[in-house]
Every structure is written in C-alpha cells, then in structure tokens.
Amino acid sequence: MGSHAASRPLRARASGPLAGSLRVPGDKSISHRSLMLGAVALGETVIEGLLEAEDVLNTAAAMRALGASVEKGDDGCWRVRGLGVGGLLEPTGVIDFGNAGTGVRLTMGLVASQPIAVTFTGDASLVKRPMRRVLDPLGAMGVEVIARSGGRLPLTMRGPDTPLPITYRVPMASAQVKSAVLLAGLGTPGVTTVVEPVFTRDHTERMLAGFGAAIEVATDADGVRTIRLEGRPELKAQAVTVPADPSSAAFPIVAATVVPGSDVVVEGVLMNPARIGLIETLLEMGADITVVAERETGGEKLADLRVRHADLSGVTVPAERAPSMIDEYPVLSVAAAVAAGETRMLGLEEMRVKESDRLAAVAAGLLANGVDCTEGHDFLVVRGGAVPGGGLVATHLDHRIAMSFLILGLVARAPVTVDDAAMIATSFPTFEALMTGAGAVFEPAEG
C-alpha cells in the first residue's frame, strides 16, 4: 500500500515584501486528464507543461500499467501512445495512486467499460476517502466491485462484457464523479448522460470534445447541465498545453495580498470560470489583483496576474461559489485571518472528504495560531485581525493544509510550524523554491 517518506516539519516566519514574477506548475486536473485521454486515443498525444508532481506521476504510472506508453522527451514534453477506446490491458499488479483522489476516481471510470480486473489502492489518506460516489454509478453500468466495507480502497473492479449506458444525476458537487461516469461512457455503446445540477470544473467535457468525442452540453434555465456522450468514439491524439494551476497560484496570490509591500506577477494562470472563485472572493475582500495579459490556449483562457498587498475586509462567501474554489478554502481562510471583521464561508460539506477533513483541519490550525473561528457542519466563520501565530499545525497528509499554514506564518507575529511539508510534493513540488525565491522565509523545524 502507498506509504510516504518520513514527515518533514517546516516553519514559516514573518517575511519582508514578496516580489518578482513566478510561474506555478501545470494544472493538476488537466494533467491527469491529458494522460488518461492520451491512453485511450489513437496516435501520440504530446503534453507540454504537464504537472510533474506525485499525484500526476502516479497517473502516468497507472496508464503504463494499463498498457499505454508514457514517456518524457528531452524537450520536456510528455508523449503518450494510446491504445484506443476499449484497448486498455489488464494490469498484472496493484495500481497505487498514492494521495490522488482525482487519479484513482477518474481511472476507475476509464477502465470500467472493459472486461478487465483492476485493483486500486492508495496512501493512508486515500484509503479513508469515499469511493461509493463513483462505484454506485459504475455499478449501474454493470461493473462488479469487491471493496472494503464502506466502499473504501483497496478495491478490485471488473467491467462487464457489454456496459449499459446510463443517465446519472450527480448527487453532490463533484467533477470527479461526473468525469468518472463520462470516461466510463467512452467504452459504452449508446449515449451516456450525466445531469449536473451544480456546475463543476468542465475540463473533462472540453478535453473529450478536443480529442474528437461526440459530446453535447445543454444548460437549462436553472443552470442544470445535461451532458450527453456518444460511446465508442475513435479518439485522436492531441497536442495539449497545460496552463498554470489556479489552485497552486492561489498560494502566491494570497501571500502577496497579505504580506505588506508585496508586488508579484503570477504568469499564465488558467482562468476557467469554474476555477476562479478565489480570485472573485479576494477582489470582493479588497485585494489588488489585476489581469496584465489575457490569452487563450487549447480553448482555455489564461492570464498573468499582478498582485499587490492590500488591506482586506471580511465578506460572506456564498455556498453557490464553493465548486469554483473548493480546494482554495484553506488558503482563503488565511486571507480571512488577516482581514478586518468576519468572513463567513458557506456550503463547505465537500471539504470534509478531501485529503483530510479540511474544515476541521483549518479550524484547528487557525485556533492553534490564535485566530478566532467557528466551525459548523458545513460552514466556517473566521474573525480576522492581527495573527498571533506560534502554533504547530497538524496537516493530516494534506498538501493544501501544509501550504496554507506556511503562508499564514509569513504574516503572523510568531512563526507558524506545519508538522509535515513532504506532502506538498503531491501537487506543487516547486512551492518552497518559488515562495522563498519571492522572499518568503521557511526553515526546517522539529515536529
């Protein structure tokens, strides 16, 4: 089963102004999907700017275990030679996805419409996360599953000889569940339909269309999206350029906003409307973020963002915004901790089923550093001001908890220590180098 190297405590202390231009790595969602679609396309998919972090490297290894060829070239681009829809091979060993929910859930969908047995596992965080949300619709398509009780990893699944196309209404706001059903629909004869009452990141829909699938999206007057995918298409290999990940950009953006005197440019950030809830919220709080250059690549908008320090005020973040910033609440909570007044974040139930229970982890980390907050079952209220700091934060194998509290340390009166910075490598291996290059002060610590 996936295990991780020894934990590595790290401390952040109050820093001078942050400055410079920085480029965060490629988007994690698009990176996973480009490897997966490349594996079931015909020909060679060339990926520029793939995120080379543990989560995505585990997906690369999984696609190899399923028979695709996945290599990094001397030019830095990754090349995937795919097997065509329905052409994946039965792996000989267990596929270990480490810490990656997206990797494992989307791959379950990808293999579900083929009669091959595949066994999945993950690290101590991933084996606690709910998989029924994906197993239920895949079961309705005819997949057999043997899982631990509660539908947890490790589990083995085998797809049916003839999968059934389904119409599935996604019961929670989850792009992973939507994507797993659509990827299963690729190998299913007929039309697979996903009904999405709440709009979540749409990279799977965009990329399926880009690889040549017949996919249609209709949105009704209430915003409910109906996605129809024609099964068994011939997908054609593509050239994919991966924009910078807005969920990683969130850390320097919040850091530059809260550290006095800062002036930073974050380059080439993906500005997909389903991913920019944090920027919208920070602007409402009074942040100074300007778009300096806007462009488009592969059907996605990108921008360079100039971020200067600003004094923030608390706001109410409505529940409807949660899907467009679901991974950003931990770092928004840091901005809320320095903002004047109260920030109320609503509709946070999905935060509890991430790499850790992020709602509980954020509230505990804030309280440990003298920040007043109230944790509800699906909301968080932070009362901001000067941050005392001085606390030790339990990160629970969660990269975003580690990065968020290191940012808090840059503005706290006393240093903030996180018990393990090692997990940052799952999504943003260059985080420490980029942040210290811009002026952040991090130092090794004892747990």
Enzyme catalytic residues:
327
Residue 356 interacts with ligand S3P (CB under 6 A): yes or no: no
Residue 15's binding partner, choosing from ligand S3P, ligand PEP, none, with beta-carbon cut-off 5 to 8 A by kind?
A: none
Whether 400 has a binding-site annotation, put simply, is yes
Residue 29's binding partner, choosing from ligand S3P, ligand PEP, none, with beta-carbon cut-off 5 to 8 A by kind?
A: ligand S3P
- Compute the distance between CA of residue 279 and CA of residue 317 in angstroms, rounded to an integer: 12
- State which of residues 58, 107, 179, 262 lies at the interface with ligand S3P (CB under 6 A): 179
Residue 223, CA distances (Å) to 170, 257, 312 in order? 14, 33, 31
Nearest approach in angstroms of CB 52 to ligand PEP is 15
Supply the angle between the helices 399-409 and 246-258 in degrees, to the nearest 10.
20
CA within 13 Å, CB half, 381: 6
Whether 358 has a binding-site annotation, put simply, is yes
Q: Buried b vs exposed e over 244-259: b needs ≥16 C-beta within 10 Å?
A: bbbbbbbbbbbbbbbb
Stretch that binds ligand S3P, among 175-183, 266-274, 296-304, 334-342 (CB under 6 A): 175-183
* Residues linked to residue 70 through DSSP beta bridges, in sequence order: 80
Nearest approach in angstroms of CB 176 to ligand S3P is 3
Residue 54's binding partner, choosing from ligand PEP, ligand S3P, none, with beta-carbon cut-off 5 to 8 A by kind?
A: none
**Alpha helix (H) ranges present in 89-156?**
101-111, 132-140
Whether 354 has a binding-site annotation, put simply, is yes
Residue 397 interacts with ligand S3P (CB under 6 A): yes or no: no
Whether 11 has a binding-site annotation, put simply, is no
Binding mask 79-108 for ligand S3P (x = CB under 6 A): -----------------------x------
Whether 33 has a binding-site annotation, put simply, is yes
- State which of residues 11, 201, 206, 358 lies at the interface with ligand S3P (CB under 6 A): 201
- Compute the distance between CA of residue 427 and CA of residue 424 in angstroms, rounded to an integer: 6
Residue 441 is given by DSSP the state: E
Q: Are 72 and 28 in contact (CB under 8 A)?
A: no
DSSP states of 19-33 as a string?
EEEE---B-HHHHHH
* Residues linked to residue 78 through DSSP beta bridges, in sequence order: 47, 72
The nearer residue to ligand PEP, 27 or 304, going by C-beta atoms, is 27
Stretch that binds ligand S3P, among 173-181, 206-214, 271-279, 386-394 (CB under 6 A): 173-181
Residue 432's binding partner, choosing from ligand S3P, ligand PEP, none, with beta-carbon cut-off 5 to 8 A by kind?
A: none
Q: Are 14 and 413 in contact (CB under 8 A)?
A: yes
- Among 65, 64, 66, 68, smallest CA distance to 81 is for 68
- Compute the distance between CA of residue 373 and CA of residue 348 in angstroms, rounded to an integer: 15
The nearer residue to ligand S3P, 196 or 350, going by C-beta atoms, is 350
Residue 13, CA distances (Å) to 80, 86, 341, 411 in order? 43, 52, 24, 7
Whether 178 has a binding-site annotation, put simply, is no
Nearest approach in angstroms of CB 427 to ligand S3P is 8
Residue 322's binding partner, choosing from ligand PEP, ligand S3P, none, with beta-carbon cut-off 5 to 8 A by kind?
A: none
Q: Which residues bind ligand PEP (CB under 6 A)?
A: 100-102, 327, 354-355, 400, 427
Residue 248 interacts with ligand S3P (CB under 6 A): yes or no: no
- Among 214, 130, 223, smallest CA distance to 180 is for 130
Q: Is the peptide bond before 154 cis (omega within 30 degrees of 0)?
A: yes
Nearest approach in angstroms of CB 284 to ligand PEP is 23
Which residues are known binding-site members for 3-phosphoshikimate? 28-29, 33, 174, 176, 327, 354
Which residues are known binding-site members for phosphoenolpyruvate? 28, 101, 129, 176, 358, 400
Q: Which residues bind to ligand S3P, rule: CB under 6 A?
A: 29, 102, 174-176, 179, 201, 326-327, 350
